[in-house]
Amino acid sequence: MIEVIGLLGIAALVAFTVRKRLALVGTVTLAALAAAMAVVVVMPAEASGEVLELTWRMSELGRLAAVVLLGTLALLVLAVWVDEPAYNFFPTALVIAAVVLSVLVLTTPIAIYAALLLGLLVPVGSFTFQVHRNRSAEAAFRHFSFVALGGCLGMSALALSASLGRDQPPATFVLLVVILVVAFALKLAAIPFHTHAALLASEVPASALALYFGVLVPTTFIAFAEILVLSGLLPAIVEIGKVQDLLLSLGLTSALGGAFLATGSTELRRVAVYSVIANLGQSLVGIATLSGPGIIGGMAIALVTGLAATQQLLAAGTLERRAGADRPSATTAPLAALAFVVGGFAMIGAPPLVAFPGHFFVELIAYSYSGLLGTALVIATLGVLLAQLRAAMAIFRTAPDRWRIEQRPIAGIVGGLVFLALLVGGVQPDGFLRPIAAFAAEFLRALHPL
Amino acid sequence: MLLLAIVAIATLAANSARQLRYMAVAFFGVALAAHLIDDGSLSASQIVVSMCSALVASAILFVAARDRRYGEDPGWRLWLATIVAAATTAAAFAFLRPATGDDINANLLGPDPSGVTTEVAAFWLLSSGIAILLTARGAVRGSLGALLMLTGTQLLVRMVPGPELALTLLLSWLQVVVALAGAFLIVNQRAAREA
């Protein structure tokens, strides 16, 4: 596995060197991603190893998430190559692929955290473009500040908890867990720590936004769950209910706040980004219930939301570009418009897509936790549904005399592929949910170590 | 204790610098002193790796300045950051210090196996970094805040038992990437302002 991560790193260097030769850099990037995916797929279950005393292990969840996230990256690379050439995107995508694999296979919490921070800082280069005409430099700076602040705080909390003896006063561990949770909330753009995401949504290129919300945010969420399991802090969370309440309230605020902000948004990108924030809120609630179905649902929502975000943000970028100074409309890019609308189905967790079981599990377990919590999550889902419907109606407000498919309909093709994958997953949910269930079992064992 | 004093003074120098190049040099001083604090667990390889990354990070910021005058005037932010950092360091040390019965060896030049000097330096750097980052108007002071926080984090991670060299390497790479991202933002913000 370390060889694959090294291969992706070397490919990133090569891609950086030849980044202005589009055909070459696109081929190198896609080939490296395909090779990495192939190795992940054929690797034996629970393969493990060690490098510089750092152990790695390919868990079932790691394999599933690697395939989903590397696949998403490959689709993004294809879209950028064909439709929106951005030279720096290719090496960035390869570095992020290496980081994603590292986060998924490493077993030392601080190493996972450091790798994650590397991945979150790399897209700063892809966020900034035409800095004289927009506020993308400011958006990138705000992202940099949030990542640095959250990253250093979280890593320090982890380091302190690992170096302190277990005989410390409970208040010490409560403080450390609270710092860790807030640190991840900063990186996940959970409300009220979402101001950088709002600026990013309106100022940076759609492909870079898709890279962040489609790949890095789900990776951050998985890293959060893994770090909780591996750090040994979970028993402290169970013993002290306040931390669980903090996680629940953070998740609920994000779910409701994200849905509320999405319903008020008129820009397609903002609708997609706030829907992601609302869904991540639901995922946080799922994890915070500290129950099997909640954890499975939370992780499933995070992964599927990443795919749906990629689908919607690429489509939104295409619609905006084709519309020019006018409002985005299906008349200029019907396939991209369709991709945006079907992406909305995944965002709200509609059956028969594989997005459904995650939302169903989390809302069900939220109801069993408290009626108010369950109702709030259903309201949040309805809010996202309303926002997606408004966006769809706005795109299809005008209809041409004759529909004509746009030239280079890559956003539509990517949307179609994602929809197909989600549909196949929905028909055969076992293949998607079983690896997540294996992780949930590990999580529950870590909650009650004896 | 002497190194701790150097860390504190160099942090104040970096925080008060109006020019990015002075800031970069002062940051290298901070990192140099911080990584030389001996808590009895230091290895030569770790020191070399940490020093190299600090040197590279400082050099990246130095080059990003492009001329001697470019920087950001801290103004009142200097005092706010200093007061907040001092108060937070004391609070963090009182609240998060391990509850062990070890004696504190606070001599001027020798090593401090109790780790207290390392912890105080780490808390000081973290709180200074947070205060600078939160009050930063642009990427110049933002980068300094992020690098100071990361140096504090490196000190805390050094105290964790486990794969020490691997973690040192990872954090050193992270420091270089933070400096690169910071320099990229500095150059872009300058271009946007001068347009």
Domain ranges of chain A: 2-447
The boundaries of the domain holding residue B146 are 2-98+111-194
Is residue B13 less than 8 Å (CB to CB) from chain A? no
pLDDT tens-digit profile of A325-345?
A: 888 888 888 899 999 999 999
Q: How far apart are CA B106 and CA B114, in angstroms?
A: 9
**Contact residues on chain B for A162, CB-CB shorter than 8 A:** 160-162
Q: Looking at the partner chain, which of A128, A159, A165 has a beta carbon nearest the beta carbon of B160?
A: A159
What is residue A170's predicted lDDT score, i.e. its pLDDT? Answer: 74
SS3 at position A134: coil
Q: pLDDT confidence of A305, banded at 50, 70, 90? A: very high
**Global confidence as pTM:** 0.93
Question: Strand A48-51 vs strand A54-57: parallel, antiparallel, or unpaired?
Answer: antiparallel
B10-35 pLDDT, tens digit each: 999 998 888 999 999 999 999 999 98
- ipTM of this complex: 0.93
For residue B86, pLDDT over 90 is answered with no
- Nearest-CA distance from B2 to chain A in Å? 24
Instruction: Answer whether residue B100 shows pLDDT above 70.
Output: no
CA dihedral (A262, A265, A267, A273) positive or negative = negative
B133, B160, B174 member nearest A149 (Cβ): B133
* Cβ partners under 8 Å of residue B105, min gap 6: B111, B112, B113, B114, B116
Nearest CA distance, B6 vs chain A (angstrom): 22
Nearest residue of B to residue A173, measured between CA atoms: B96
Percent of chain A predicted with pLDDT > 90: 60
Question: By CA distance, what is A163's nearest residue in B?
Answer: B160
Q: How far apart are CA A260 and CA A241, in angstroms?
A: 28
| Contact assignment for B163 to A175 by CB distance below 8 Å | no
Nearest to B192 among A132, A148, A167 (CB): A132
Do the Cβ atoms of B163 and A128 come within 8 Å?
no
| Domains held by chain B: number | 1
Look at residue B14 and tell me if it is in a domain.
yes
Kindly report the backbone phi and psi dihedral angles of residue A106, in degrees, each rounded to the nearest multiple of 5, phi listed first.
Answer: -70, 155
Residue B147 lies in a domain: yes
Q: Which of residues 139-158 of B touch A (CB under 8 A)?
A: 139, 142, 145-146, 149-150, 152-153, 156-157
Q: Determine contact: B138 vs chain A, CB below 8 A.
A: yes
Between CA A105 and CA A1 the distance in angstroms is 8
C-alpha span between A428 and A412 (Å, rounded): 24
Which chain A residues contact residue B184 at CB under 8 A?
Answer: 124-125, 128
- pLDDT tops 90 at residue A210: yes
